[in-house]
A and B are shown apart, each in its own frame.
Chain A
Amino acid sequence: MAERQSVLVLISEDPRASHRANEAMRIALGIVAGETPVDIVLAGPAVHLLDENTDDLVDGDDIAKFRAALKKLAVPFQVEEGAPPADPSWNADGHPVATITPDGIARLVAKAKRFLVF
């Protein structure tokens, strides 16, 4: 087995319009479960993965389940600066998040050895 490489999961799909944002999050969860370090970045509309009301999201039930699992594992989301909505109910579950700038994303890209871009 080769040395475990850090994996960057960059999600920019809109979970209100596509199931692929959820699928990317599910894959990230699977990789984390394999004890591989993962950085998850939510860019643009992908920040809606943290909407309180998942009824308006494609595969909303799954989104609630997978993000809860990631929260339990203390895996933070790095959210693109300026992308979160003003709605105060956003991230009502209190998932650990950090704001990341485009330069910060570039630094993660430079650090990572594996990439999953949705």
Chain B
Amino acid sequence: MTLLSLGATLGPVMELTKRKLGLMVSTAPEHPNLDTAVGLGRAALDRGAEVYLYLIDDGVAGVEDPRVQALADRGAKLFVCAYGCQKRRQPLSDKATNCGLVVLADIVNATDRFLALN
């Protein structure tokens, strides 16, 4: 998965226009999972897909990470687990939608592909 982050690709035959990619990251920003998620998200956006990134557990620390915000600036929908922030005494950020697991369940259900990076 780490290799994917270097030049992320979702495959040459995959038509993603108007399709939805859901990503969940539960690891801290320094873990390679975030690079992988950002790489996949960027590749999906390049192909016209909608991207939903949900940060949870230790992943909430990455909400204001420049890599994540760059993805959001390109149109990715960014969500962060409010419970995870509260547990870590991390202030809620206005750079993402602070929400609960119902939103994650919606993303799981509503996306064409869902990847959890744990």
Per-residue interface assignment for chain A, residues 27 to 45, with 1 indicating a CB less than 8 Å from any chain B CB and 0 otherwise? 1011101101000000000
Min distance, Cβ B31 to any Cβ of chain A, angstroms: 12
Chain A 74-118 interface 0/1 with B at a Cβ cutoff of 8 Å (1 = within)? 000000000000000000000000000000000000000011111
**A33 touching B109, Cβ below 8 Å:** no
Given the interface pairs A114-B114, A117-B116, the reply to whether A31 lies near B108 with Cβ below 8 Å is yes
Contact residue among B26, B101, B110, B111 (Cβ-Cβ distance under 8 Å from A30): B101
**Out of A1, A33, A117, which one reaches B102, CB within 8 Å?**
A33
Contacts of A27 in B (CB 8 A): 56, 101, 104
The reply to whether the CB of A72 lies closer than 8 angstroms to some CB of chain B is: no
- Is A53 engaged at the interface, CB distance under 8 Å to the other chain? no
Taking CB atoms, residues of chain A closer than 8 Å to B57 are: 19-20, 23
Residues of A within 8 A of B109 (CB): 1-2, 4-5, 34, 36
Contacting residue for A117 out of B56, B110, B118, CB 8 A? B118
Answer whether residue B105 sits at the interface, using C-beta atoms and an 8 A cutoff. Answer: yes
Chain A facing B: main interface SS: mixed
Interface size on B, residues (CB 8 A): 19
For residue A40, give the distance in angstroms from its CB to the closest CB of chain B.
Answer: 14
Q: Please tell me if A71 contacts chain B, counting CB pairs below 8 Å.
A: no
Residues of B within 8 A of A114 (CB): 108, 114, 116
A-B contact count (CB 8 A): 57
Cβ-based interface call for B100 (8 A): yes
A5 lies within 8 A of B102 (CB) = no
Q: Given the complex of chains A and B, what is the CA–CA distance between A2 and B104 in angstroms?
A: 14
Cα(A34)–Cα(B109), bound, Å: 9
Interface residue A7 (Cβ < 8 Å from any Cβ of B): yes
- Given A23-B26, A23-B57, A27-B56, verify A34-B114 contact (CB < 8 Å): no
Chain B residues near A16 (CB-CB < 8 A): none
| Chain B residues in the interface with A (C-beta under 8 A) | 24, 26, 56-57, 83, 100-102, 104-106, 108-112, 114, 116, 118
What 10 additional pairs, Cβ within 8 angstroms, besides A29-B101, A33-B102? A1-B106, A5-B108, A7-B108, A19-B57, A27-B101, A30-B105, A33-B105, A34-B101, A34-B108, A36-B105
